[in-house]
Structures are given as structure tokens and as C-alpha cells.
Structure 1
Amino acid sequence: MKKIALFTLLLCFGSIYSQKKKKTEAVVPNVVIAKNGNASAEMAKNNFYLFITNGAKKDTLLLKKYVSKVTPLECKITSFTTKGTPLQLVSWVEKSVSETKLKKEETTITESQIWNPATKTLVVGNTQTATKIKETVFLDKLKNASETQERTRNGGYVFTFLPEGDFFLKDKSSETRYSYNATSLKYEVVKPNASAPVKPTKKKRK
């Protein structure tokens, strides 16, 4: 009987201890990165979310998952309506540095995402990168002489948002305009106006 009583007592203490441990676990609050009206961009652990609050309803849209701890910089939320459809543009910057004895790379990543809160879908996602490279290069095989070289490596398209809700994607060789199609619920390429009148060229007099 004593053994049974002792075993029951230990179980009680174990249960109380586990309950106290659960109660004292700290809840880490979300970090608000940007806010605009009823929309807010927040970090929850390593996940970056866009929250849309309408009264008691709160929609959660996952912007990006990170492997390690990252703090988005220069984050901006733009609420706009195009072709009668309310959309949300979220843009932010990420920076990282990679360095060795001979080489240093500073990378800036610019993310631009357009979301449809009604359908909870990502309509457009664009990633642009710019890496500044500073490298020590040896000029001979014996590595007696060296020089420091600097260059920039760009990747992806430059995203330019327009007030009416259109946007441009631009790289070294091209620039394309996109406009929202309310029927397909997608952004589509704006084709040049083929019906535009062509100005006649004047013939040079001989």
C-alpha cells in the first residue's frame, strides 16, 4: 500500500510540474515589419506573412519561408484597385554578405509580390538580385603581385509599379509592360497597338 501511495504521489507531482512548465513557456509575438490600413506584414519565427483583417476575420497569406533568421528591410504594402479588382502589392529588400580571404560578395535581393486577398492567391512574384563583388586577383603564378577588382552581377528583372496598377519588367535587353485581366484574374503582356497610325516619311529631294 505504501508503494502504491508513493507511486500515486510521484504521478501527482509530475503532472503538476508538467502543467507549470507548459504555462511558463514564453509565447514569442510576431514582429510587425510594415503596415497599411487593414494589411500588415509580419515575421513569425522564420516565416514572413501578410495579414488582412476585416472585422473579426483575419486572412493569412504566406509571403516567404526562411531557413535562417532574416529581417526584411524597406518593406512597403500598397493597396490598390485595378480593373475593379482590389489587390495588395508587398515589396521588401533582403541583404546578405559572403566573405573569404580573397573575395567579398554583398547581395541585395528585392522581392515584389502582388496578391489577390479575395482568392488568397499570389498573382505576381518577382525577384531581383544585385551582387557587388570585391575580389583580390593574382597577376602571376607565384602570387607575388595582385590587384583588387570590383564588379556588379545583376539577376532577374527590375520591377516598376505604375499608379493605375500596371507594371514594367525590365532587364538589359528588354522592357515589357503587364496589365491585369479581370476575366482571367492574371496579369498579361500589353501588346503594342498595331492599329496606331504610322506617320509617313518625307522623301528627300534629290
Structure 2
Amino acid sequence: YNCKEFGHIERECQKPKRVKDASYHMEKMLLCKQEEAGIQLNAEQADWRDDTDDDELEDQELEAHYMYMTQLQEQSESVHVTYSIKQDAHNVIIDSLDMSYDREAIEHKDDDNDLVNERELLASLIEKLKCKLDESKNRNKFFETLNKVLFEKLKGEIEYFKNKIKSLESLNNRFKEANNKLSETNNLLYTDFKKSEAKLVRRNSMEHA
């Protein structure tokens, strides 16, 4: 261990003991979890973990803390934990997001997106339906107006033909009357002609006798 202080010799300078507080156990637990996950530790982390592995009581405390933190993690469905670890004189932030929370959040977001899309589609269909209804109303009004115009025109033509028929009937009646009178006149003339013819025949007979 080299503290890099002026006048200190590496062999004689002892590593200072850390207080075994919550941060101490948290860092040790995280290092153990990193090893379990196959993440390689740097030299300082490995030395610190090896130094702390000598204490059996410390291992028991670490195991208790590890079990406690595991229970907390299992009980929480939506947990976002940020651990700060000092590594190579830099602060490295490890963000641990609960996967079930992410999955539920994504599914919920997808459901929200689907709902928004359905609402937009429904609004579009309603708008199109309104346009169709307006077009249908305008078309119906146009046909109603056209029907009224055609009805009035047809009504006028019917009235015209009615008057025409009455006029023709009147002319026909007058023609019949005139024809009847002409027939009577013809009959009278024919009768007179026959009478005159008979007289002429008798006269001729008397002259030859």
C-alpha cells in the first residue's frame, strides 16, 4: 500500500482502517456482486476485498447486509439505486434499474402509445364521418330543391295539358255539332233532290203521252 505521502516508506506505511459503516458494507457487497457477475476488479478493489475477507465476523455482517439488501430488492418492484464507488481517483456511478420496472414501464408506454394512436384514429374517423354527413346533407338539400323545381315544372305541364285537353274536348264537341248539322242539311238536300227528280220524271212522262 502506498499512500504517496512525503517521507513515508511503502513497506512501513500501513493502510488506514475504514469504519465499518453502511457505506463500508455496501461497497463490499457491490464488489462481491461484481465478482459474481464476472466483472473483473482492479488492483485496489481486489486488495481491499482481500483485506476485509480475513475477518469472519465481517463476513457474517456482510452476508447479513447482503441478504437484507436482496430482500429489499425483491420486495421493491420499481427501484432505482445509484451507488458511488471510488475507483482510480474517479467517482464511478453505477445505475441499477429494476428490469421488471423497465418492462412494465415500456409496456405501459406502449399501451399509452396504442391508446393515443387509437384516439387519433377514432378522431380521424369521426372527422371523416362528419364530412360524409355534411356532404350527404348538402346532397339531400340539393335533391330536395331539384325535386321541388321538377315537381313545380311537372305540375305546370300537367295543368297545361289539362287545359289543352279541355280545349280539344270543346273543339271536338263543336265539331260534332257542326257535323250533325251538316248531316241534317245533307239529308234535307237529298230529300229535296229526290222530290225534284220525281217531279221531273212525271213531267216528262206526261209530255210523251
Coarse TM-score class (shorter-chain normalised): under 0.3
Structure 1 or 2: more strand by fraction: 1
Structure 1 or 2: more helix by fraction: 2
TM-score w.r.t. the length of structure 2 is: 0.18
Larger Rg: 2
